[in-house]
C-alpha cells in the first residue's frame, strides 16, 4: 500500500475564498478535528501576514496532536536580500512549525514580469530560502507555483527551478496548477517530467477554475505524486481548491493500493465537511459528492423501487462508508415506492391502505405549496398524524408578534407565546432580532422548564421561497427551517400567505421533531390499531 500524504490548506488557502473568515479559535478547532481523522499536514497560515496567524502557530506548538504536522506557509526571500535578513524568512523560522512550505516562481512570465528579476536571481531566491530553513532544522516542502503553465511555456527553466529546490534541501516538491487551467492529461505529463528530473517525491496542488481539480489531483497520484494538497469542501479563492473530501473518498474507496488518513477517517468525511461549513458559517452544498445531503437522495419512483431491492443499482458506494445516509424524497411525483421506502422505518410498508392515505395527503399538501424533499422531519411528523400516533408535546394556544420602529431607532421586535405544557399554561414574552428570532426565543422560554434539552438545539439555516409570485405581496410563501443539535441536522417546512405564520409552522415542527427524536419516538413501530388519540388540539391563532 502506498501512503498518500493528505495536506490540508483550509486554514490558509481556503480562507482566501470570498466570504470565508476563520477566527483564531476556529482555526484551532479545525486543527484538532483534522488531526483526529489522520490528516498528515495542516497548513495554518502565513505567520507574517497578520497577528492572528502568528498567534496560531504559537498556540498550535503546544497542542497535543496525535498525527498531523503543523505547517507554516511563506514565500521565497525578497530580491537582493540575504535569506537570514529577510523578515519573512525569520517569521517562518520563529513560527515553531516543524514543517515550512515555501512557494516560488516557476513560470518565467512571473519571474520577468511580476518579480522583475532575471532567471538567475529567481533560482538564487529559491535556493537561499530552502537552504536557510533546512539549516534551521525544518522539514521543507517546496510549492512550485504555476508549474504547469511554466512547463508548457519554458520546460527547461521550470524543471531547473524545482531541481534547485531539491539541491537546497527540499524534502518534496509540490507541483501547482495555480490558475486551475490545466486538464488531467496535461497534469499527467507535467508530473511525469518532474519525477524524471528529481530524486525526491512530488506532490500536487490544484485549483478548480476548470472544474477538474479533483480529477487533476487523482491523475497526478496515478502518475506518482505522493502528496495531495487541497481544502475541505474545496473552498478557496476564485473557484476554489481541490476538494479533499472527494479526493480522500476516491483514493480510499475507488482506487486500489493507496492508504489515506487513519482507519476510521474516511467514515467521518460527512461529519468533517459539515463541521467546516458550520465553523465557516457557510451553507451546505446539498449536491456535494459523497457527503452532500442529496448525494444519496432518491426521488424518482423507479429509482426508489430499484434501490429498495438492490441498493447498488443507483448508488456508487454505500453512503455509510463516508458517514452519509440514504434519503428517499417525497413529492407528488414520487409515487408509492417512495412512500413505502420512507415508511419502512415506521414498519408501515405493508399497509397498502395507509400508504395510499399518506400519498394522498402529500399530494394535497404539495398542491398547497408544501414540499417535503428538503423537510424530512416534517414528513416524519406527517406520517404520525396520518397514522394517528401523533400526540403534540405541547398545545399551541396563541402567539403575537409586534414590530415597532420610528425614524430614529432600529426596529424593536417582541413575541408573545401562550402554550399549554402538560397541566401548566405558559405565557411568555421575548425580544429578538426580527420576528422569527423573537418567536423562537419565546417558544424555547415557554418550554425550557419541561424540555431543557431544547437548549442544545440551534438554527442552521432559514429559507423563504415565494410560491405564487403572480399574487405580489399577497403571495403564499414556503419557509424551510434547518435545525441541528450535537447529533443530527433536520429540516421542517411551513406554508402560508403570512410569512410569520409559515415560519411559526416550520418552527413548531422543528421543536416537535427534536422532542420526539430525543424521546426515541421517531421511526418507532406505529401500529395504528394501538394508537392513542391526540392528547391536545393545536391552534396557530
Q: DSSP letters of 79-97?
A: TTS-GGG-HHHHHHHHT--
Rounded distance between C-alpha atoms, residue 51 and residue 412, angstroms: 38
Average pLDDT, the chain: 87
Work out the average pLDDT over 341-347: 61
Cell numbers at residue 510, please? Answer: 422543528
Rounded distance between C-alpha atoms, residue 414 and residue 449, angstroms: 21
123-132, 199-208, 336-345, 436-445: the lowest-pLDDT one:
336-345
Whose cell is 394556544? That residue is: 397
3-class DSSP state for residue 533? coil
Which band of pLDDT confidence, cut at 50, 70 and 90, is reported for residue 310?
low
Rg (CA), the chain: 28
Tell me if 38 sits within 8 A of 72, measured CB to CB.
no
**pLDDT over threshold 60, residue 294:** yes
- Tell me the percentage of the chain whose pLDDT exceeds 70: 87
DSSP 347: T
Cut 0.75: pTM above it:
no
Cell numbers at residue 195, please? Answer: 519525477
Give the model confidence (pLDDT) of 445-467 as tens digits. Answer: 999 999 999 999 988 888 888 87
Higher local confidence (pLDDT), 327 or 366: 366
User: What was the pLDDT predicted at 537?
Assistant: 36
Whose cell is 502506498? That residue is: 2
User: What was the pLDDT predicted at 535?
Assistant: 37
User: Which residues does 454 contact at the CB level (< 8 Å), separation at least 6?
Assistant: 444, 447, 448, 511, 514, 515
User: What was the pLDDT predicted at 454?
Assistant: 93
Higher local confidence (pLDDT), 314 or 300: 314
Tell me if 110 sits within 8 A of 98, measured CB to CB.
no
Whose cell is 470565508? That residue is: 20
Which band of pLDDT confidence, cut at 50, 70 and 90, is reported for residue 72?
very high
Higher local confidence (pLDDT), 328 or 43: 43
Work out the average pLDDT over 367-389: 83
Q: Please, how many CA atoms are within 13 Å of residue 36, restricted to the half-sphere of its CB?
A: 11
Work out the average pLDDT over 369-391: 84
**pLDDT over threshold 80, residue 89:** yes
The dihedral through the CA atoms of 243, 248, 253, 256 has a sign that is positive
Work out the average pLDDT over 483-489: 85
Give the model confidence (pLDDT) of 129-164 as tens digits. Answer: 999 999 999 999 999 999 999 999 999 999 999 999
Cell numbers at residue 257, please? Answer: 493500493
Give the Å distances, CA to CA, from 375 to 5, 330, 382. Answer: 39, 9, 11
- Tell me the percentage of the chain whose pLDDT exceeds 90: 62
Higher local confidence (pLDDT), 90 or 297: 90
Which band of pLDDT confidence, cut at 50, 70 and 90, is reported for residue 525?
very low
Exposed, middle or buried by CB within 10 Å (0-12, 13-18, 19+), for 314?
middle
CA 154 to chain CA centroid, Å, is 39
Amino acid at each position: 500500500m502506498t501512503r498518500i500524504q493528505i495536506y490540508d490548506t483550509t486554514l490558509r488557502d481556503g480562507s482566501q475564498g470570498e466570504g470565508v473568515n476563520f477566527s483564531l479559535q476556529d482555526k484551532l478547532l479545525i486543527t484538532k478535528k483534522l488531526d483526529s481523522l489522520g490528516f498528515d499536514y495542516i497548513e495554518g497560515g502565513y505567520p507574517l501576514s497578520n497577528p492572528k496567524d502568528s498567534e496560531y502557530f504559537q498556540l498550535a506548538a503546544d497542542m497535543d496532536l496525535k498525527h498531523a504536522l503543523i505547517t507554516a506557509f511563506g514565500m521565497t526571500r525578497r530580491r537582493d536580500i540575504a535569506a537570514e535578513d529577510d523578515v519573512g524568512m525569520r517569521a517562518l523560522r520563529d513560527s515553531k512549525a516543524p514543517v515550512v512550505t515555501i512557494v516560488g516562481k516557476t513560470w518565467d512570465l512571473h519571474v520577468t514580469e511580476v518579480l522583475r528579476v532575471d532567471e538567475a536571481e529567481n533560482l538564487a531566491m529559491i535556493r537561499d530560502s530552502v537552504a536557510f530553513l533546512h539549516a534551521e532544522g525544518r522539514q521543507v516542502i517546496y510549492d512550485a507555483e504555476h508549474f504547469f503553465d511554466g512547463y508548457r511555456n519554458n520546460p527547461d527553466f521550470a524543471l531547473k527551478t524545482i531541481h534547485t529546490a531539491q539541491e537546497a534541501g527540499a524534502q518534496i516538491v509540490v507541483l501547482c496548477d495555480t490558475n486551475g487551467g490545466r486538464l488531467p492529461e496535461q497534469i499527467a505529463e507535467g508530473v511525469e517530467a518532474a519525477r524524471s528530473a528529481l530524486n525526491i517525491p512530488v506532490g500536487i496542488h490544484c485549483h478548480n477554475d476548470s472544474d477538474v481539480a479533483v480529477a487533476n489531483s487523482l491523475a497526478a497520484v496515478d502518475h506518482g505524486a505522493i502528496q495531495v494538497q487541497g481544502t475541505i469542501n474545496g473552498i478557496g479563492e476564485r473557484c476554489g481548491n481541490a476538494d479533499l473530501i472527494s479526493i480522500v473518498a476516491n483514493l480510499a474507496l475507488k482506487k486500489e493500493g493507496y492508504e489515506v488518513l487513519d482507519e476510521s477517517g474516511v467514515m467521518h468525511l460527512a461529519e468533517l465537511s459539515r463541521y467546516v461549513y458550520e465553523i465557516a458559517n457557510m451553507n451546505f452544498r446539498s449536491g456535494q459528492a459523497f457527503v452532500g445531503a442529496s448525494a444519496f437522495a432518491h426521488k424518482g419512483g423507479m429509482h426508489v423501487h430499484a434501490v429498495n431491492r438492490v441498493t447498488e443499482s443507483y448508488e456508487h458506494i454505500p453512503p455509510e462508508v463516508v458517514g452519509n445516509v440514504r434519503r428517499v424524497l417525497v413529492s407528488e411525483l414520487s409515487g408509492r415506492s417512495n412512500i413505502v421506502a420512507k415508511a419502512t422505518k415506521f414498519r408501515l410498508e405493508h399497509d397498502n391502505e395507509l400508504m395510499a392515505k399518506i400519498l394522498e395527503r402529500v399530494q394535497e399538501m404539495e398542491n398547497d405549496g408544501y414540499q417535503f424533499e428538503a423537510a424530512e422531519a416534517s414528513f416524519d411528523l406527517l406520517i404520525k398524524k396520518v397514522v394517528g400516533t401523533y400526540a403534540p408535546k405541547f398545545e399551541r394556544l396563541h402567539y403575537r408578534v409586534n414590530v415597532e420602529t420610528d425614524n430614529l431607532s432600529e426596529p424593536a421586535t417582541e413575541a408573545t407565546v401562550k402554550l399549554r405544557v402538560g397541566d401548566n399554561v405558559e405565557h411568555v414574552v421575548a425580544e429578538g432580532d426580527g420576528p422569527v428570532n423573537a418567536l423562537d426565543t419565546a417558544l424555547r422560554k415557554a418550554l425550557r422548564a419541561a424540555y431543557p434539552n431544547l437548549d442544545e438545539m440551534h438554527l442552521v439555516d432559514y429559507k423563504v421561497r415565494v410560491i405564487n409570485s403572480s399574487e405580489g405581496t399577497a403571495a403564499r410563501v414556503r419557509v424551510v427551517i434547518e435545525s441541528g443539535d450535537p447529533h443530527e441536522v433536520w429540516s421542517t417546512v411551513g406554508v402560508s400567505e403570512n410569512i410569520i405564520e409559515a415560519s411559526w409552522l416550520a418552527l413548531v415542527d422543528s421543536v416537535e421533531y427534536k422532542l420526539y427524536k430525543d424521546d426515541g419516538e421517531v421511526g418507532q413501530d406505529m401500529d395504528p390499531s394501538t394508537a392513542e388519540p391526540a392528547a391536545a388540539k393545536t391552534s396557530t391563532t
